[in-house]
Structure 1
Amino acid sequence: MAEERPGDAHIPICTKIPVIDLGKSQKFETIKQLLLAGQEFGFFQVINHGISENVTTQTMSTFEEFFNNITDEDKVNVASRKGWMFTGSEEEVKNGVHLWRDNIKHPHPLHKCMQSWPDKPASYREVVGRYVAEIRKLSLTILELIGQGLGIESGYFDEQSQVQLLSANNYPPCPDPSLTLGIPKHLDPSLITIIYQGNVSGLQVLVDGKWMCVEAVPNAFVVNIGNQLEVINHGISENVATQALSTFEEFFNNITDEDKVNVASRKGWMFTGSEEEVKNGVHLWRDNIKHPCHPLHKCMQSWPDKPASYRKVVGRYVAEIRKLSLTILELIGQGLGIESGYFDEQSQVQLLSANNYPPCPDPSLTLGILKHLDPSLITIIYQGNVSGLQVLVDGKWMCVEAVPNAFVVNIGNQLEMISNGMLRSVMHRAVTNSKEARTSIALFVNPTPNSIVEPAKVLLNESNPPLYKSILYKDFINASKAFGAHTDAIQNDV
């Protein structure tokens, strides 16, 4: 795959990438610059960010010392360190291209993870810990400014940024740079990425179809807009989503007992109502309809025909969501380093589940949906304007705000397995309220029953062994005792 190698072509410095001064007193102007940079490039650099140059230079020196002195024994010990990994130039090959770098990754939060970090050099934990704390403050500041510019309320990104992963790279001098890469082309599956280059350039971005160098500006940070921040601007017309939501509201408000009886004769769809649905002794206060929706032309004829617009409106919504889901999966694949098209065969089944939650006299006694993990690849949820979705964060239930014309993207168990645990499925549930009805639409993207689900082989090596066993998707579902299967049962003992 020679086309993946950089070759001998001269790559110019990109002068278009904005350098934004965060120290300016004109906050409105800074917000405007951040939004413009995000829309036009997805990349920008920030200066006067409040992080001391001493912090960055000490951190850079610490990593240089780490990479220059790591031994083979240290590399072998990586596997016993929970939550961090090391790869070296001699072992890292992707898509047939040798990657000329050493890399270490480890997670946060600080108080939980620091004790598992490297202890050589002796200053590693102190210096890197200080750097990480400063970068977290900077990232939250940038996200808050972006949120203000988008019209999102203060603090919205706090719950969206609970996980941080540090990745430090060392690129030794290479005898023939035309034949190798440091990192292959990719998109980051993060919310944002904060990069410190030091004084040596090597980062390149694709601008108008051409690779351009990002200049190493002294004591500046490169900020990269990740895939998760892009989902707000997803390209689906608000009219498509609101019409679908209105159609489901009309469906739920007018369904008759006769319609419910007829459900059993409709191949591939089912209806449950609040008066009949009890799970684990908890009454579920919702009406729900499920039906398959891919391929569309085969499934649509068995869908409800009341209201008259149901098939047309929901069909259009499903088609748009399928495009969005495949786009997101492709971007995640690029971010993981998985080849293009990998998820095409893993996303041949789509199931739509629409929920209607009537006002509940006493929400403290019921739930809309029990806590669960999705057994899907990904799930795309449209909440409309009424919140009710909750996620479990550090042992506490947190509400997911209903952002206008935004979709919630949930990582399912299958994507957790394929990413070998790099992406995690999150426990979630739905609650009710006593004041207003709520309707939501979830679309699950799944493998076919006979698909083999396993960690992507390109992600595996000696220091990153498979955490999950290979399994047929139907066997995974059958082994699950409840909706929202856990992956614990099929984890390897590593």
Structure 2
Amino acid sequence: MHVQLYFREVSEEYGREVTRLCEVLMKVLSASLGLEEARFQEAFGGAECGACLRANYYPRCPQPDLTLGLSAHSDPGVLTVLLADEHVRGLQVRRADGEWVTVQPVRDDAFIVNVGDQIQILSNSVYKSVEHRVIVNAKEERISLALFYNPKGDVPIAPAPELVTPDRPSLYPPMTFDEYRVYIRKNGPRGKAQLEGFKGQAVPGTGNK
């Protein structure tokens, strides 16, 4: 029981600290686009943004060429902060030319940060969400710890008006994060095809017009 309580306290503290890191990154991303530092955080719901911590375990696979640990996708939320296995490679990201690149393991005290779909939407596609997948290993298991930083579920999110110009019109319709998650789940994992597919359109199955 004492061990369980210890791990609970450690995981809760870890989640709080990484959430604070996400709040700092929000300020940096917002300022980099010439906006007020608090602009992104406010657009996503301010202090009511949510976070979810998930541990991922990928066992050894005797035929890694026949399967994936996780199929190609981009994360639907704002940011994903990943603490990856330092010794076992598994995460791959897709470059602009379509080639998959394996991310080299980083030190135990370093994070991998993936930009999510909501950043792409709010920035009017200035920032692109990261399409990624996970491969498995024939000889070694792999563990990673991911914190997903997400908007408040019922706040409509659309490109920031400050980033919309006659030369760069608004690319995405307003939608809440709850609506977006329903849409993604209904259509299944398809890389980034779903996000790219409704540029300038209403989201099917939601109340947006």
If the TM-score is normalised by the length of the shorter chain, which range does it land in?
Answer: 0.7 to 0.9
Structure 2 residue aligned with 1:487: 195
Corresponding residue number in structure 2 for 1:389: 91
Q: Which amino acid aligns with 1:350?
A: A
Give 1:319 shift.
1.2
| Aligned residues of 2:26 and 2:37 also touching (Cα < 8 A) | no
2: CA distance, partners of 1:329 / 1:471 = 20
| Equivalences for residues 44-193 of structure 1 within 5 A | none
- In the alignment, structure 1 residue 352 sits paired with structure 2 residue 53: yes
Q: Quick check: 1:430 aligned with 2:138?
A: no
**Equivalent of 2:64 in 363, 372, 396:** 363
Gaps of 5+ in 1: 1-303
Deviation per CA, 1:76-114: give whole Å up to 9, x if none: xxxxxxxxxxxxxxxxxxxxxxxxxxxxxxxxxxxxxxx
Q: Does 1:460 align with 2:157?
A: no
CA distance in 2 between partners of 1:306 and 1:489 (Å):
48
Question: Identity across aligned pairs (percent)?
Answer: 34
Measured in 2, the distance between the counterparts of 1:306 and 1:450 equals 37
CA distance in 2, matches of 1:306, 1:427: 37
Q: Indicate yes or no: 2:6 matched with 1:309.
A: yes
What is the aligned counterpart of 2:106 among 399, 403, 414?
Answer: 403
- Equivalences, count: 190
Assess if the C-alpha contact under 8 Å between 1:338 and 1:456 holds in 2. Answer: no
Q: 3-state DSSP class of the match of 2:18? A: helix
Distance in 1, matches of 2:3 and 2:129, equals: 35
CA apart distance, 1:325? 1.0
Tell me the CA shift for residue 306 of structure 1: 6.3
Partner Cα separation in structure 2 for residue 457 and residue 359 of structure 1: 48
Residue type of the partner of 2:162? V
Alignment RMSD = 2.0
TM-score, length basis structure 2: 0.84
Name the aligned partner's letter for residue 432 of structure 1: V
Question: CA deviation digits over 1:425-454, x for unaligned, max 9?
Answer: 121101111222211011111112201110
TM score, norm. by length of structure 1: 0.37
Stretches of 4+ moved more than 6 A in 1?
A: none
* 1:470–1:305 Cα change, 3 Å: farther
In the TM superposition, residue 336 of structure 1 has moved relative to its aligned partner by 0.7
| Higher relative contact order, structure no. (Cα contacts within 8 Å, ≥ 6 residues apart) | 2
Q: Displacement of 1:305 after TM fit? A: 8.6
What is the one-letter code of the residue matched to 1:367?
Answer: L
Residue 330 of structure 1 corresponds to 27
Which has the larger Rg?
A: 1
